[in-house]
A = this chain, B = another copy of it.
Amino acid sequence: MKTETRKDEIINTAAKLFKERGYSAVTMRDLASAMGIKAASLYNHIKSKQEILKEIIISLAEEFTQGLELIQQSNTSSIEKIEEVVKLHVNITSQNTYGMASLNNDWMHLEERRDYYLKLRSNYEEELRHIIAEGVKNDEIIDENIEIMLFSILSTLRSLYLWIPKKDYLNPEKLSQQLSTVLVKGINKKIN
């Protein structure tokens, strides 16, 4: 665990501001002021405003990709894989709620890396779609519209960054478990 560089501090502070106001609304002077320095001083550590955004988003996107690959390799049922995906999102989001806001809302302001990000994202969706489709085939998952199931799960997981900060009394374990229950079993009380 090596100590945080000045560049990391800048990136973390930026992520916080980007979450509150969005990338475009945060100026380099805002960021500098939040760091207690002048705008020009930021450039001793970073190349451009653009680079900050890239660092925030791409590292997170790659973390998700890598996490999902591991889950895919495991030899488990579809439902269990989905539960692992829930854990993956809860864990990454818990550790970086600020960055997740940029990932969700500011990716369009990536320049050179925009296409790379979009590719990672569509691959991710495709893999998750495949997990669900397998579950349907194996009779683990209901034979409803796959796109809707995918959409519902992903929307919930992608919004975690908004809710986790509000209720940090729930630890990631418990949150993952309860979230899986709701996503997988729904909310209705089955009357047998």
Mark A residues whose CB is within 8 Å of B: 20-25, 79, 105-106, 108-109, 132, 135, 139-142, 144-145, 147-149, 151-153, 155-156, 158-159, 162-163, 167, 170, 175, 178-179, 181-190, 192
Q: How far is the CA of A43 from the CA of B159 in the complex (A)?
A: 37
- The A contact surface, by secondary structure, is helix
Residues from chain B with a CB closer than 8 A to the CB of A159 are 151, 155, 158-159
**Cβ–Cβ contact A22 & B21, under 8 A:** no
User: Please, which residue of chain B has its CB at the minimum distance from the CB of A189?
Assistant: B142
The smallest C-beta distance from A92 to any residue of chain B, in angstroms, reads 16
**What's the least CB distance linking A166 to chain B, in Å?**
8
Q: B residues within 8 A CB of A188?
A: 79, 140-142, 184-185
Q: A24-B25, A159-B159 are in contact. List 20 more A-B contacts (CB 8 A).
A: A22-B24, A22-B106, A23-B25, A24-B24, A25-B109, A135-B187, A141-B189, A144-B181, A144-B182, A144-B187, A145-B170, A145-B178, A147-B167, A148-B179, A152-B182, A155-B159, A155-B162, A158-B159, A184-B186, A192-B192
Inter-chain contacts of A148 with B (CB < 8 A) = 175, 178-179, 182
* Residues of the B chain whose Cβ atoms lie less than 8 Å from the Cβ of A25: 23-24, 109
